[in-house]
Chains A and B, each alone.
Chain A
Amino acid sequence: MLEAGQVDEWFTREVLPLEPALMRFLRRNWRNESELQDLRQELYVRLYESAGSGLPAQTKPFVFTAARNLLINHVRRARIVPMELVADLDALNIAVDMLTPEREVTARDELRQLQLGLDRLPPRCREVVVLRRVEGLSQREVAVRLGVGEDTVEKQMSFGMRALIDFMLGGSGKIRRRPGALRKTKAIDHE
């Protein structure tokens, strides 16, 4: 067995950078967009757990094969599979995504990406993120400046962080909120 730290390191250094390609693969082969996050989560759990008994020699094929198997299992487990859900199991081709080399991303590209991510946030949420992270104000200071409660700042911050992280890791930056959270934050956005 490996130590937790080693698996953590491997996961952060080798698996997470594959996320954009991985999500492209999942999105192309799984029509139900709202389930993608759960699929990713389930896949990450499996990868992490199987790496515990030994790290794979090559991470990329390991990740994509596991992703393919996961989709196949999901289709088999489902009682009723809509015709269009999986185009064709045999056509679940991982080669396309696996062979796409990771594009070299420059710091400038990344900054542009961050700017885009920030622009996509709802205005209130962006304001909170910028005040907290760029201006370096504390939660309390942000709350005072915007005239809202600290719990509101925390909620906006939490949403903003999730959306930005998702966007920076190659996702759409659209984050699902739980129904309760959604209603509350919506009200704040439109006040």
Chain B
Amino acid sequence: MNDSVRIEESAVAWLIRREQPEWNEQAQLELNAWLAESTAHRVAWLRMEHGWRRVDRLAALKSPVVASASAAERAQRSRLPWLWAAAASALVSLLAVLFATIYAPYGDTQRFVTAIGGHETVPLRDGSKVELNTDTKLRADVDEKARTVWLDKGEAYFEVAHDGRPFVVYAGDQRVVVLGTHFSVRRDHGRLSVVVAEGKVRMETVHSDKQIPPAIATRGQMIVAEANSMLVAPAPPQKLESELAWRHGYLMFDKTSLTEAVTEFNRYNDKKLGILDADAGKMRISGNFEATNVDAFVRLLQRAYGLTIRDDGKRIGIAD
């Protein structure tokens, strides 16, 4: 019966293993098999996973408290190098940023652009894949030491090849440090959102007077950065699917306001939709739509929702 320690150790070993970049479908099947072996395995796993999610969420918010709680006490124990290590690594990454910013334009930079409605998957020189969504502009630079991507505009989904070099995505004032493998970054106006499908990423503010702690998101979470704030939110499977539906050419709405839906469609199409009265904009719609097929969407609004459509060839107006 002294098994509980051993089982707990196994559960943690699985948790650790799941976060390694090598994690794949085969490994998931092995985990499933282990879980199916006994209820004891399953409850230990649930407990560890639950506890670890909490620790992680806090660690993501940590900096001010965790790093500074007892400076005096820490000074006494100054043999502990981790605070110094942290400071040193912050300096190193700062230098790396400066270096990258100064030299990147002269390097052998790959550039990618998609038009409105475009959708393309491109390889980077390190073997990573980037899937560009509509109206997107992106540069990538790979050298012996680092892999750097600048998302100048739009949205992209990254499948990062596993190698020792760090992989960093810059978008405006934010920087996303990749600790895992599959995630998307979307930039619109003052807002940056990162959805993590697999692995883990860390988002940091590059230059800002204010000290904003970095945020870490793991699989099934998203980070939204706006102005001077960062929010880590859960992205359950459904949400994940709808956030990434564009990869299959679809937009997924779930009780989305018509105003938001129209904004989404306009990202993909030259022929813009406009809402002519506020009431129509508040209407909630659900469903999957082909992102570049505005006409089908408009027909549905007309027939199913009884809205009035005015199409002058360049713009489509929607009214109640």
Residues of chain A at the chain B interface (Cβ within 8 Å): 8, 11-12, 16, 19, 37-38, 40-42, 44-45, 47-49, 107-108, 110-112, 114-115, 117-119, 123, 126-127, 130-131, 133-136, 138-140, 145, 154, 157-158, 161-162, 164-166, 168-169, 176-178, 181
Q: Is the interface of A mostly helix, strand, loop or mixed?
A: helix
Residues of chain B at the chain A interface (Cβ within 8 Å): 1-9, 12-13, 15-16, 20-21, 39-40, 42-44, 46-52, 54-56, 58-59, 61-62, 65-67, 69-70, 77, 79-82, 85-86, 89, 164, 177, 179, 200, 202, 216
> B56–A48 contact, CB under 8 A?
no
Q: Is the interface of B mostly helix, strand, loop or mixed?
A: helix
> B4–A111 contact, CB under 8 A?
no
Q: Which residues of A contact B20 (CB under 8 A)?
A: 139
> B43–A123 contact, CB under 8 A?
no
> A165–B82 contact, CB under 8 A?
no
> A123–B48 contact, CB under 8 A?
no
Q: Which residues of B contact A11 (CB under 8 A)?
A: 43, 46
> B12–A162 contact, CB under 8 A?
yes
Number of A-B contacts (CB under 8 A): 135
> A115–B12 contact, CB under 8 A?
no
> B44–A41 contact, CB under 8 A?
yes
Q: Which residues of A contact B80 (CB under 8 A)?
A: 123, 126-127
For the complex, what is the distance from the CA of A181 to the CA of B20, rounded to whole Å?
Answer: 22
Partner pick for A111 among B58, B79, B81, CB 8 A cutoff:
B58
CB-based nearest A residue for B8: A162
Given A133-B56, A154-B13, 7 new contacts (CB under 8 A)? A44-B43, A48-B43, A140-B164, A145-B85, A165-B47, A165-B48, A168-B55
> B40–A45 contact, CB under 8 A?
yes
For the complex, what is the distance from the CA of A127 to the CA of B80, rounded to whole Å?
Answer: 8
For the complex, what is the distance from the CA of A157 to the CA of B67, rounded to whole Å?
Answer: 19
